[in-house]
Amino acid sequence: MRATIAPQDPADNSDWDVDGSPPDVVIKLSCPNAQPAPPSEEVESFTPAWTQGACDVLSTDLLSAPIQFSVIDVDALFDDPIVSVQYQVTRADIDRGVMEFTGSGALRSVAFQLTTYYAE
Ligand SMILES: [Ca+2]
Ligand SMILES: [Ca+2]
């Protein structure tokens, strides 16, 4: 998974962190009929990338209901929400093996690797 975060928080046009450092980004992903994936590790970057945090899910389940993910900037007291999204995965996404969203606002883009398996 990788993401591109806006340089400033569009909610108040300020830096993500008071010292001007990049956001400490965590993605939480939940997939239909799957164990909730543990939150990703925290990556301090405007272009964070993660190797874990994805779902292991049956392709039929993935097509039956939307996935949800939220991206946050971890802070000492209150985390800054970056974005929270619900998305219905399509057959074409599964065939591509990757889902890519481009957005405006706080989250410029995010891409998930799709690892699915088929029921016997
Ligand atoms: Ca912050
Ligand atoms: Ca932070």
| Tens digit of each residue's pLDDT, the chain (120 residues) | 899 999 999 989 999 999 999 999 999 888 888 777 778 899 999 999 998 767 778 888 889 999 998 999 999 999 999 999 899 999 998 888 888 888 878 999 999 887 777 666
Instruction: Give the model's pLDDT for residue 74.
Output: 96
Centre of ligand 2 to C-alpha 67, Å, is 25
Centre of ligand 2 to C-alpha 16, Å, is 6
Centre of ligand 1 to C-alpha 111, Å, is 22
Residue with tokens 């990788």: 2
pLDDT tens digit string along 50-83? 987 677 788 888 899 999 989 999 999 999 999 9
Judge contact between 37 and 54, C-beta under 8 A.
yes
Q: How many CA atoms lie within 13 A of 49 on its CB side?
A: 2
R_g (Cα) of the chain, nearest Å: 15
Domains of the chain: 2-117 (2.60.40)
Single pTM value for the model: 0.86
Centre of ligand 1 to C-alpha 80, Å, is 5
Instruction: Give the model's pLDDT for residue 108.
Output: 95
